[in-house]
Amino acid sequence: MSFNPQPVIILVEPQMGENIGMCARAMLNCGLDRLRLVRPRDGWPNAAAKATAADADVVIGKVEVYASLADAVADCHHVVATSARDRSLPIPLLNSGEAAGKVADWSGAGQQVAVIFGPEASGLDNDAISRAEILMRFETNPDFSSLNLAQSVLLFGWEWRSAEAGGRQSGATADLQEAASRKELEQFFNRLESNLEERGFFLTPELKPTTLKSLRSIFSRSAVSEKEVKLLQGMLTALLREKRE
Amino acid sequence: MSFNPQPVIILVEPQMGENIGMCARAMLNCGLDRLRLVRPRDGWPNAAAKATAADADVVIGKVEVYASLADAVADCHHVVATSARDRSLPIPLLNSGEAAGKVADWSGAGQQVAVIFGPEASGLDNDAISRAEILMRFETNPDFSSLNLAQSVLLFGWEWRSAEAGGRQSGATADLQEAASRKELEQFFNRLESNLEERGFFLTPELKPTTLKSLRSIFSRSAVSEKEVKLLQGMLTALLREKRE
């Protein structure tokens, strides 16, 4: 992986091209230019996005499109998810300033960070959330908290820029080294899932997705290192062995 | 003046109703709800503003409209102007975090603060700038710095909310007490102007506006107290007296 201290912004299933364009503008305002899209509703390229982005078309021009969020975060070491809602998954919830401080620290250590934003109407679903190491919350007026997509991207970018400009302390030190890429973690998790499946772990098909998300979240939010993924794989291998007599 | 710790947001000659509506939303996201308009292009009330504001119509519903910026800031003790541009007037330029810290300090001391934003296309003109005590700059990417009106309002509101939430130190202490209202300052300034006029101070009509702005800025940015306005008035009175033999 080439060193690039800038986090990638990932929009999951964005609907309006205009909003993608506004996000590109907000990103570039803050010095961010790496935008990834997962299943944009109206396909890609998108004329409305380009028109709205105007002078920020440098961002639009190098957008990367992915068929799944798993693919979009495969090369990332850390995933931050934006969510205003309380979640069933016990993922650490940070305010945007704290989260941006962590992102800056991680990036500064040469690690790739993804910051993911959900679709306009619904926000991120629990499958996406379960891939996150931390949740980022924007502490808006509790009586009127709804930010649109481009506003959320702007506020994250703004906090990131402040954090980069210096001095925000996040306390992120222990997890700065050796975080595994999400691809390595996903390989482990897929192996875990198929083995669980084969062993009748999932009592009903209906319950499987929820169970998987809860499981995934445990690994996602713990910022496991490469060494630890190897350990998990070894653990899994061991568990799959026949019991020795 | 009734105690109200919230700054007023003033849009000078806003053009699009949609932008006024988006500003109202951004304000309410940050817990701000006092919006003033100076000469809105399409008049007031404005259906587009109301439609765009949607659930933030509580802000729209109590908008105050003024015929001049002087009127709009008359009851204010401190005026902060947003400006990305370098100006000829030597007004202290703060980044948005520092400026928001000052605003929070002033408001906390029961003083009325105005934060003024210019028209979409052009920004604030020098007449407006000359009324400001401090200029606030958003430190965006220098290669792509243009924020739209609602984005600027959002970022100020966000910084203000952070400052209110606690702990941002601005160093504003000496100027916390007794700042004069802008009405008092304006009365002094108008008296000064007419007396200067009567005395042939302005060499040509063409030069007068620029000269006045430079003069006004000197008083505007010095956060004069009520006591000091009285002193200035007294000084002016004295200067206008016949020289004693």
Instruction: Answer for the pair A121, A183: CB distance below 8 angstroms, yes or no.
Output: no
Instruction: Answer for the pair A192, A215: CB distance below 8 angstroms, yes or no.
Output: yes
Go through A33-46 and write b for each residue having 16 or more CB atoms within 10 A of its CB, e for each that does not. bbbbbbbbeeeeeb
Q: Do A29 and B55 make contact, defined as CB atoms within 8 angstroms?
A: no
Above 80 in pLDDT, residue B167? no
Tokens 């990834």 found at? A36
Interface of B with A (CB under 8 A): 25-26, 28-31, 55-56, 97, 139-141, 144-147, 151, 154-155, 158, 161-162, 165
Instruction: Answer for the pair B77, B42: CB distance below 8 angstroms, yes or no.
Output: no
Ranges for all domains in chain B classified under CATH 3.40.1280.10: 8-175
Nearest chain B alpha carbon to A95: B162
Q: Do A139 and B154 make contact, defined as CB atoms within 8 angstroms?
A: no
The ipTM of this complex is 0.77
Q: Which fold has domain B8-175?
A: Alpha/beta knot (3.40.1280)
Q: Which residue type does A111 have? A: Q
CA–CA gap between residue B188 and residue B181 (Å, rounded) = 11
Q: Do B29 and A145 make contact, defined as CB atoms within 8 angstroms?
A: yes
Q: What is the pLDDT of residues A139-188, one digit of tens each?
A: 999 899 889 999 999 999 999 999 988 754 444 443 444 677 788 888 88
Tokens 């169970």 found at? A211
Tokens 């020795």 found at? A244
Name beta bridge partners: B95: B137
Query: What is the full per-residue pLDDT of chain A (245 aa) written as tens digits?
Result: 344 579 999 999 999 999 999 999 999 999 999 999 999 999 999 999 999 998 999 999 999 999 999 999 999 989 999 986 666 677 888 999 999 999 999 998 888 999 999 999 888 998 898 888 899 999 999 899 889 999 999 999 999 999 988 754 444 443 444 677 788 888 888 888 888 888 777 878 888 888 888 778 877 766 677 777 877 877 778 777 665 54
Beta-carbon count within 10 A of B75 CB: 13
Q: Which pTM does this prediction carry?
A: 0.82
Interface of A with B (CB under 8 A): 25-26, 28-31, 55-56, 97, 139-141, 144-147, 151, 154-155, 158, 161-162, 165
Chains A and B form CB pairs within 8 A to the count of 56
Sheet order of strands, B64-66 included: B64-66, B35-38, B8-12, B113-117, B78-82, B134-137, B93-95
Name beta bridge partners: B132: none
Q: Which of A30, A141, A151 sits opposite B140 (nearest CB)?
A: A30
Residues of chain A contacting B28 with CB distance shorter than 8 Å? 141, 144
Give the rounded percent of residues in chain B with a pLDDT score beyond 90: 50
What is the average pLDDT across B184-206?
Answer: 84
DSSP annotation of A37 reads E
Nearest chain A alpha carbon to B97: A162
Tokens read off for B98 = 């520092």
